[in-house]
Amino acid sequence: MKTRDQALTEIATQILGFETLDTRKSDRLDFHELAVWQIKAALEAAYAAGQKAK
């Protein structure tokens, strides 16, 4: 079973296209412009992962 952090990292990289969830202290690296459908997909994946973890 995946840990919470593993699930979040997978969602961030696969759905949102992030390299990492680590803070890198650079606006260019730490702030991202996202489409609403990307955010919706990430939220749906997080919800599904939470349901699966129960």
Domain that holds residue 31: 4-53
- pTM exceeds cut of 0.95: no
Spatial separation of the C-alpha atoms in residues 48 and 43, rounded to whole Å: 9
Query: Looking at the 3D structure of the chain, how many domains does it have?
Result: 1
Q: Convert the pLDDT of each residue in 8-44 to its tens digit.
A: 999 999 999 999 999 999 999 999 999 999 999 999 9
CA gap 48, 11 in Å, rounded: 11
Q: Please give the Cα distance from 25 to 48 (Å, whole number).
A: 31
pLDDT at position 1 over 90: no
H-helix segments, the chain: 4-14, 27-30, 36-53
Tokens of 25: 């202290």
Q: In the numeric block, which tokens belong to residue 1?
A: 């079973």
Is the model's pLDDT at 54 over the cut of 90? no
pLDDT at 53: 87
